[in-house]
Structure 1
Amino acid sequence: MEAAEMDTMSWSWSEYFPSPNYFRLFRMVLEELPEYYRTLPSNGTLDELTKYSYVTWSEIQFGVLMAVIWTIVRTLLTILIFKPAGRYLELTKSNQAKMPESAWRFTFYLTSWSCVAYVLLWNHADILRDPPKSFIGWSADMEIPWDIRMCYLIQGSYYLHGLVTVLVLDVWRSDSMVLCMHHVLTLVLITLSYACRYHFIGLMVVFYHDFNDIFLEFSKCHIYLKDRGNKKYMIHEYFANAGFAVFTVSWCIMRMYLYPLKVLYNVLPSTAKTYYKGHLPFGIECNSMMWLLMFLDIYWFVYIVIFLYKIFTKELSEFEDIREENEHIDADGNVKEEKEKNGTKHAAGDALANGVATDTAAINGNGLKKRHPVPSS
C-alpha cells in the first residue's frame, strides 16, 4: 500500500478526542464572536434570512405531516404492543401506566441515533474528525445529501411532535417550561441549520446529545420490568444500574466534553474559516443558540451530580425520584400528581424501584420525564 493511501486511512486519537481546554474556548468566544458582525455584508439578520437561507413550503409541510405520523405510531405501539405486553408480564399497575412511554422513547432514540451515527461515521467520517471541513464549498444554495435530509426530517418532526405533546397532552410540571424551551430551541436550530446549509454541524449536535437518552430509557424499562407477577427479578436491576452508569459516563463525555470542544469550538470564526474564507451567515445566532443548549446540558448535569451525591452519601437508600413533585396511580390507572410528604416519602403506589430514578426530569437529558400514558382504547 502506498504511503499516501496509508496517511488517508490513518487517524489520530486526538481527532476524535480533542485536548480539554475549556478556558481557551471561553476566551475565544468572547474575542471572536464579534468577528461575525464585523464581516457582515448585509443589513442584519432579516436581510441574511432572505439572502442565505432556503427552505421550501413542501419541506415544512412534510415535516409537520411526519410529526403527526410519529404521534400515530406512538399511539398504535402503546395500544397494540406496549400496554398488552405490560399486562401479559403482570407488571404493577403503576408500571403498566409508565412503561409504554419509556419503551416508545427507547425505540425512537435507538433507531434515530443509529441512523445519525451511520451517516456521520460511515458516510461523512472526515467531518467528524475535522468539523471545519463541513464549510468547504459552502453556499446558500448548495445541495444537501439525501441521507442527511432524511436525518433532519426524522429529528425535526420528532421534536415538533414532542413539543405538542408537552403543551397539549402531558401534565404540566415544575420543569415543563425548561423542557418546552429545549424543544423550541432544538426546532429552531434544526430549521436554521438546514435552511442555511450548516447541516453537518446540526447532525453533530444530534450525534453528541441523543446517545444518552437511549440508556436512560433502557434503564427505566428494566426498572418497570423488575416487579412483575408479585415477584422481583433482580436481573433487571443489574441491567438498569448498568444502563444508568453508561448514561452518566456518556453524558460527561459526549455533552460536557465532546460537544463544546468538537462543535462549539469549531463554529468560531478562526476555526470555521479554516477551509472557507468567505462570509458565514447567522454566526452570532447559531453560536448563541448552541451555547444556550450547552447551558441546558449543564443545568441537567448539576442535578445528576446532586442525585449521585445523595446515593453515595446514603441520603437516599436507593435510586429514587428527587423531583419536588411525584405521581401515583389511582384506581383507574391514571397518573396523578402529589407533593412529597416528609421530604422523602412518596404517594402510595409510587415506591420507585432500585437502580435508577425512573422518572426524574433532573437527569433526563432532553427533559424526558413521566407523562400521562396514552389512553387505551
Structure 2
Amino acid sequence: MRLTRSADRSRSLYRPQATRSVPDLDRCTGSGQASARVNSASSFIPSVPRPGSNMRNPYTLVNVTIERSPLFPNPVTCISDMSGMLASELVRRSPWGAWGQWLSETRDSLELSVNFDPGMILWATLICVVLTLMRAALNRRVFTPLAKSYKLTDESVNKLPESIWKCSVYLITWCWSAYITYDLDILADLGSHWSTWYPGRPVESSIYWLFTFEVGFYIHYTYGMLFLEARRKDFTVLILHHILTIALIVGCYSVRFHIIGVLLIFIHDIGDVFLEGSKSILYFKEQGGKAVHWVVTCANIGFLLFATEYFLFRIYWFVTKALYSALYICLLVYPNGPFYLPFNLMLLALLAMQVYTVYIGVHDLHGRMHPSKTNWFQ
C-alpha cells in the first residue's frame, strides 16, 4: 500500500491533499470520496436512527490519497509502519503523562462516539435461544443417529454432533461475511474503513444482522461450554476469547467500526470451518471396531487446508489487512480519532488468544491422527 508522498519518498511522510472537519452529523451529501461512499451506504436500511443535527463531530478527517491494498501486501513494510505508529501513539495517548487530559478525552469520546443499541442484545438473546433449541433437536434426531449408524466409538458419538454443529454455523457466518466483504470491497479498499466513518453513521442492515447473529452464537457457544460440553484444557482461554469477541463485535457496532468488524469475521471464521470439519471427519476413522484408513487421508487433507488457511487468514491477512488498517491507516484518515488504543489492544489480545486456541486445536487433531502419542484432551 502506498500513500501520496513527497518527492524524497520518505517512508514517514505522506502528503495530505486537504484537511477538513465534518461538523454536522446529519449530512449525507457533499463533495469528496467520503461523502460519495456515505451516500452509497445509505442505500441499505439503517439499523438505528440517524443522529440529530445538534450532534457534532470533533474529529478531523484528512483527505489523504490511499491506494488500494494489493492482495498480498509486503508484511515487512506493514509491520514497520504499524510499529512506528503504535509506538508514537503509546507515548502521545498514554495516561501517565497527562492523566486528567486522558480521562477527559476518553469521557468525551464515549459521549460523542458510542451509539449502543439494546435491541441488538435482545435479538442476540433470542437467536441464542433458537440456536440452543436447534442444536438439541439436531443432536437428537440427526447427528447422534448418524454417528450410531456408522458404529462409531462412544467418544466419537459424543463429540461428533458438537463439531458438525460448529462447522455448519461457522460456514454460514463466513459465507455471509465473505459476501459483504466482496460487495463493499473491504479487503482491498482499506481507506474506506475510516473515510466513511463518523459518530452515529448508519449501519448497513446486512452488517447489523451479521453482528447480531454472531453475538447470539457466541452467547450460545459460551452456554454450551459451561453446561453442555465436556471441560477442555483450554476452557478458560476459550471463555475469555468468547467474552472478548462479544465485546469486540458490540464495540465495533456501537462506535461504528463495523466495516473492519466484518473483515475480522471474514478472517477468523473460515479457520473454524476447516478445523471443525477436519475433526468431524476424524471421528469416522474407526467404524464397528475397524479402522478406515481413507478417512485419515481425508482428515490429513483437511488439516493441510486448515494450516494453509491459518497462515493466510489468521496471520498474514490479519496483520497486513486488519491490524494495518486499525493501527496505521486509521490515523492517516483520522489523526485524532477515538478509541485507538483500546480497540487495537483488543485486536492484539484477540490475535494472541487465536494463536493459542489454534495451537491447542492442532494438538487435538494430531492426537487423534496418532493415538499412540499424547492427546492433550485425554
How would you bin the TM-score normalised by the shorter chain? 0.7 to 0.9
Change (3 A) 1:307 1:218: closer
Following superposition, the deviation at residue 290 of structure 1 comes to 0.2
* Cα distance per residue 1:21-46 (max 9 Å; x no partner): 135433432223455569x8971434
More displaced stretch, 75-84 vs 135-144: 135-144
The answer to whether the Cα contact below 8 Å between 2:263 and 2:322 also exists between their aligned partners in 1 is yes
Provide the rounded CA distance (Å) in 2 between the counterparts of 1:189 and 1:303. Answer: 23
The TM-score, its normalising length taken from structure 2, stands at 0.73
The answer to whether the Cα contact below 8 Å between 1:91 and 1:228 also exists between their aligned partners in 2 is yes
The answer to whether the Cα contact below 8 Å between 2:69 and 2:189 also exists between their aligned partners in 1 is no
Corresponding pairs, count: 306
Following superposition, the deviation at residue 165 of structure 1 comes to 2.1
Q: Which residue of 2 aligns with 1:190?
A: 249
Q: Which residue of 2 aligns with 1:272?
A: 330
The TM-score, its normalising length taken from structure 1, stands at 0.73
Q: Which residue of 1 aligns with 2:25?
A: none
Q: Which residue of 2 aligns with 1:60?
A: 121
Change (3 A) 1:289 1:317: closer
Q: Which residue of 1 aligns with 2:70?
A: 15
More displaced stretch, 177-186 vs 277-286: 277-286
Provide the rounded CA distance (Å) in 1 between the counterparts of 2:373 and 2:242. Answer: 23
Following superposition, the deviation at residue 70 of structure 1 comes to 1.3
The answer to whether the Cα contact below 8 Å between 2:177 and 2:210 also exists between their aligned partners in 1 is yes
The answer to whether the Cα contact below 8 Å between 1:33 and 1:283 also exists between their aligned partners in 2 is no
Aligned-pair RMSD on alpha carbons? 2.9
Q: Which residue of 1 aligns with 2:47?
A: none
Is 1:101 equivalent to 2:101 in the alignment? no
Unaligned runs of 5+ in 2: 1-66, 96-100
Is 1:299 equivalent to 2:366 in the alignment? no
Q: Which residue of 2 aligns with 1:90?
A: 151
Q: Which residue of 2 aligns with 1:6?
A: none
Task: Give the letter aligned to residue 271 of structure 1.
Answer: I
The partner residue of 2:184 within 105, 111, 124 is 124
SS in 2 for 1:200: helix
Provide the rounded CA distance (Å) in 2 between the counterparts of 1:305 and 1:80. Answer: 30
Change (3 A) 1:46 1:321: farther
Provide the rounded CA distance (Å) in 1 between the counterparts of 2:304 and 2:273. Answer: 12
Change (3 A) 1:301 1:88: closer
Change (3 A) 1:23 1:323: farther
Provide the rounded CA distance (Å) in 1 between the counterparts of 2:372 and 2:246. Answer: 31
Task: Give the letter aligned to residue 284 of structure 1.
Answer: L
Task: Give the letter aligned to residue 284 of structure 2.
Answer: L
Following superposition, the deviation at residue 137 of structure 1 comes to 3.0
Counterparts of 1:292-331 in structure 2, within 5 Å, are 292-300=349-357, 318=370, 322-326=374-378
The partner residue of 2:276 within 205, 209, 217 is 217
Following superposition, the deviation at residue 184 of structure 1 comes to 0.8
Task: Give the letter aligned to residue 295 of structure 1.
Answer: A
Change (3 A) 1:91 1:66: same
* Cα distance per residue 1:198-221 (max 9 Å; x no partner): 001111111111111111111111
SS in 2 for 1:15: coil
Provide the rounded CA distance (Å) in 2 between the counterparts of 1:316 and 1:79. Answer: 25
Following superposition, the deviation at residue 63 of structure 1 comes to 1.1
Change (3 A) 1:167 1:307: closer
Q: Which residue of 1 aligns with 2:215?
A: 156
* Cα distance per residue 1:220-250 (max 9 Å; x no partner): 1111122223433322222111001111111
Following superposition, the deviation at residue 81 of structure 1 comes to 0.7
* Cα distance per residue 1:43-74 (max 9 Å; x no partner): 14344223211122222211111111111111
SS in 2 for 1:131: coil
Change (3 A) 1:62 1:319: same
Following superposition, the deviation at residue 95 of structure 1 comes to 1.2
Following superposition, the deviation at residue 306 of structure 1 comes to 7.7
